[in-house]
Structures are given as C-alpha cells and as structure tokens.
Amino acid sequence: MPHVKIKCFSGRTEEQKKKCAEKIAEDISEILGCDMESVSVAIEDVAQEDWKEKVWDKDLAADQDLLYKKPGYTYD
C-alpha cells in the first residue's frame, strides 16, 4: 500500500497534478510490484516563501536518513 506525498511550489494546474500522480503511481506499481489500486498519491501546494519552514525544516532536514534522492540545494 504505497503512499506518496509530493510537496511543490504553488502554480501547477489540476491537469498537471493529475498527470503527475498517475505517472508516479504507474512507476511505483511497476517497480515495487504492487497493484495500481494499492497506490495513492497526494500533492500539496506550498508557497515559495513557506518552503523552508514547511518543507525543508520539517521533512528534508529532519529526515535526511530517509531520503533516497536528496535535493541539490541547502538552506544555511
């Protein structure tokens, strides 16, 4: 039952979000060997000015050991 939560800057259309979620679900299903019906994908818009507080500090910096793909930027 994989669940993915994507956080990104605001501004994507509903169509872009749906297409992104579908593609990610397809890849997860194929790679992890599970049914598409088992996969869920959430997309949360985050204002650019809130990124450090709401995403970097809470998710990225706090969970470095869980990141299989780390970002190529930092906040110092």
Is 45 in a helix, a strand, or coil? Answer: strand
Which parts of the chain have pLDDT scores under 70? none
In the chain, where are the structural domains located?
Answer: 3-66
Output DSSP code: residue 17: H
d(CA 29, CA 38): 8
Residue 71 falls in the annotated catalytic set: no
pTM greater than 0.85: yes
Homologous superfamily (CATH) of 3-66 is Macrophage Migration Inhibitory Factor (3.30.429.10)
Residues 6+ apart with CB under 8 A from 75: 52, 56, 61
Residue among 2, 34, 46, 55 flagged as catalytic: 2
12-28 pLDDT, tens digit each: 999 999 999 999 999 99
pLDDT confidence of residue 76: 78
